[in-house]
Amino acid sequence: MYTTNFISRSIEIRQERESDFAEIRTLIKTAFMSAQHSDGDEHYLVDRIRKTDEYIPELTLIAIHEGKAVGHIMLSKIWIGNTVALALAPLSVLPEFQNIGIGKSLIKEAHCKALKYGYKCCVVLGSPEYYSKSGYIEASKFDIHAPFDVPDKYYMVFPFVETGIPAGLVRYSNAFIL
Ligand SMILES: CC(C)(COP(=O)(O)OP(=O)(O)OC[C@H]1O[C@@H](n2cnc3c(N)ncnc32)[C@H](O)[C@@H]1OP(=O)(O)O)[C@@H](O)C(=O)NCCC(=O)NCCS
């Protein structure tokens, strides 16, 4: 059984590099095979986002254990009304490394960097049980709304700042549109 200490001792988190892309593709595909909700497109989504202006290499991170990529997170640009903000998608951890804090650590590190770059908030579509553990709140409470039909509780936001969070309808990169 791995422990939290394992993360600090054995997991390195850093920005992804082009030489990691093939390994990351396999990682995402493998992680989502066991996911409750998946359209099987997540690894392609990452490839598509990387080709757009909405890709932010500095906010796309991997977790490495003994030279192997075991987790990945991508935050990319979206708009809330007319203001640029971030979306978290996707987040992936290899099945044998799940539930030991790697996902939470990736989110924390990505949030820290996003704040330094001046972003105001990050939205996510996903499990409220999971993302609330990292501080995500229903986006509708901030008058932030998804451009698709989804029950409010599954569409969340993490505010990086106390004031000045943009409100309105979210617009995604074309990379999200199949
Ligand atoms: C979801 C995922 C990224 C979580 O990463 P992780 O490193 O396993 O999670 P962490 O170790 O940071 O957090 C573990 C906690 O989250 C909970 N959790 C894990 N996956 C969850 C899920 N899908 N729904 C709700 N809770 C979940 C665990 O029960 C655990 O709870 P605890 O802290 O109270 O014990 C990972 O399981 C994964 O890659 N799943 C497949 C892909 C996927 O579903 N991605 C998310 C899309 S929204």
Model confidence pLDDT, tens digit, residues 125-166: 999 999 999 999 999 999 999 999 999 999 999 999 999 999
CA distance 54 to 52: 5
Cα distances from 166 to residues 55, 58, 121, 170, in angstroms, run: 20, 22, 8, 10
What's the whole-model pTM score?
A: 0.96
Q: Is the CB of 104 under 6 A from ligand 1?
A: yes
CA distance 19 to 134: 29
Q: Hey, whose CA ends up nearest to atom 10 of ligand 1? A: 101
Percent of residues in the chain assigned helix, strand, coil, to nearest 5? 40, 30, 30
Q: Is the CB of 83 under 6 A from ligand 1?
A: no
CA distance 114 to 169: 21
Q: Hey, whose CA ends up nearest to atom 37 of ligand 1? A: 98
Cα distances from 119 to residues 55, 56, 168, in angstroms, run: 14, 12, 16
Model confidence pLDDT, tens digit, residues 26-42: 999 999 998 989 999 99
Q: Is the CB of 100 under 6 A from ligand 1?
A: yes
Domain boundaries, the chain: 4-176
> What is the CATH number that goes with domain 4-176?
3.40.630.30
Q: Is the CB of 108 under 6 A from ligand 1?
A: no
